[in-house]
Amino acid sequence: MATRVNTGGWRRARLAWPVVPGLALVVLVGGLPLARVAQLSVEHGSEAFRALGTSEVFRKTLVNTLELALTVTVLCLLLAYPLVYWLSSRPAKVASRYLLLLMLPFWISVLVRVYAWQIILGHDGLVNKLLLQLHLIQAPRDLLFTTPAVVLAMTHYLLPYMILALYSVCASIDWRLMKAARSLGASRPYAVRRVFLPLSVPGAVAGSMLVFVLALGFFIIPALLGSPSDMTIAVYIERQTSILRFDIAAAASTVLVAVSLVLFLVIDRVGGVQRTFAGGPGKDSSEPE
């Protein structure tokens, strides 16, 4: 019996060795810097965290970051659902072509996208010119360096992440269930509400968690398109490092990581991380009626 156990353990070890390089890279690139930031934040005792706790600017920044991340997440979810529903109802070959087009923005630098939004939303940009031509405004509006500009640009950047996460689950939905609901007299909206939406919940939760965490740490778009009142934690950290307050910056970074971990634990507590990121059963590739 002992020989069998040892042999099985050796076999599992041989099967697991390919993940060692990737795991080591994650630890070196992600784990060690985070550990260093946590160490830097506590080197001066609790002074840095006490300073953050008594700072009205940091409290306002934290609330603004959470509100901005939540707003962008909700918008991405609302925009992604109709498209994912349509994609998941198409044959796999057709859906893959549209997904390839969807991935094209990943090849464009975020800086290029920000400069594009500056041109579109500028004083003489396309939006102001269109509104003037339609006689909806009498003079160009200040659209840049506002909260809507930040929300719009972040939604544009993070929407593909939501679509891909949601589609990974919705693509496995068996459309015969939708057909069965329709054959029993259910209307299309009712079938979508009672069949499609409940089965797509794990994808919605996974996509929302991914977009929310990414939005929490966003820096470039709020820094280049936002106003001082739109400052996020990432911008706050950058400004603290620029004045050599590395202890405050490290403490703020630790708070940001803690918020992300709390979100992860809440998701695991409510629905289970494994269930959230797991796909469903294989689907029938035929289109719904």
Mean pLDDT check: name the lowest of 63-72, 78-87, 246-255. Answer: 246-255
**pLDDT of 127-182, one tens digit each?**
888 888 888 888 888 888 888 999 999 999 999 999 988 998 888 888 788 888 88
Is 60 exceeded by the pLDDT of residue 67? Answer: yes
Domains and CATH numbers, the chain: 1-42 (no CATH), 56-276 (1.10.3720.10)
Q: At 26, is the secondary structure helix, strand, or coil?
A: helix
Is 70 exceeded by the pLDDT of residue 13? Answer: no
Is 80 exceeded by the pLDDT of residue 279? Answer: no
Tell me what the mean pLDDT of segment 11-18 comes to: 68
pTM: 0.79
Instruction: Please choose, from the candidates 248, 259, 220, the residue with its C-alpha nearest in 3D space to the C-alpha of residue 63.
Output: 259
Q: What are phi and psi of 81, to 5 degrees?
A: -60, -50
Contact 39, 217 (CB under 8 A): no
**pLDDT of 203-258, one tens digit each?**
888 888 889 989 988 888 998 888 887 788 989 988 888 888 888 888 888 888 88
DSSP letter (8 states) at residue 287: P
CA distance 137 to 94: 42
Is 60 exceeded by the pLDDT of residue 275? Answer: no
pLDDT at 133: 87
CA distance 279 to 62: 34
Of 33 and 13, the structure prediction assigns the larger pLDDT to 33
Instruction: Please choose, from the candidates 190, 195, 202, the residue with its C-alpha nearest in 3D space to the C-alpha of residue 176.
Output: 195
pLDDT at 284: 45
